[in-house]
Amino acid sequence: MLEVIFTSGSLQTSWGSYNATQWATGQVNVADSTSNNWYITGVQLEAGTSASEFEFLPVDVNLGRCQRYYYVHADGASSNKRVFNGGAYNGSLLDGTVFFPTTMRTNPSMDVVSGTNYYTAYGNGGNDAVNDFNIQESNINSAGVRNDNTFSGNQGDAYFVITTNSSAKLAFSAEL
């Protein structure tokens, strides 16, 4: 049996002349470790003995399917993202409602990334730093969000809240 090995050369990092010994130089054996990853796309697995047409879904349909399970409402990757409009229940409770773009699978829990001055509430001609939120109630279409530990406002005033830190995030999870 003749065995030809094409790994004896050195890894070529720019265009060069043909050299058969360098065909696979520097390539990873994907099966030599459980920590190696192999990425594929465009695969459709089906049970049974016959295959159906490959199903291509529009981006908005796939996004809606994903958002049934996890929805990122505000991500501070670039600050000044609107979080919600709400009002001061009293001088220290800021309440608002987040409406989901699609019906979630079940009543979600809230995933919030918070810290000192991560959010700012604007209202009554001024602003107030807000550090954290908690979920008051949720259903498959919306969630009541509240800050009751760092807000200092005027009862009855309307406020809007934005992200003011690139790490700020408010998301909702209805995972299985």
pLDDT digits (tens, 9 = 90+) for 145-155: 998 878 888 89
pTM reported for the whole predicted model: 0.70
Contact (Cβ atoms closer than 8 angstroms) between residue 109 and residue 72: no
Does residue 17 register a pLDDT over 90?
A: no
Distance CA 64, CA 47 (A): 25
Q: Is residue 66 part of a domain?
A: yes
pLDDT mean over 5-20: 68
Q: Is residue 20 part of a domain?
A: no
Q: Is residue 167 part of a domain?
A: yes
Identify the pLDDT of residue 94. 92
Q: Is residue 105 part of a domain?
A: yes
Cα–Cα nearest to 86, from 25, 7, 28, 142: 142
Cα–Cα nearest to 121, from 155, 97, 86, 78: 86
Q: Is residue 139 part of a domain?
A: yes
Is residue 32 very low, low, confident or very high in pLDDT (cuts 50, 70, 90)? confident
Q: Is residue 46 part of a domain?
A: no
Number of domains in the chain: 1
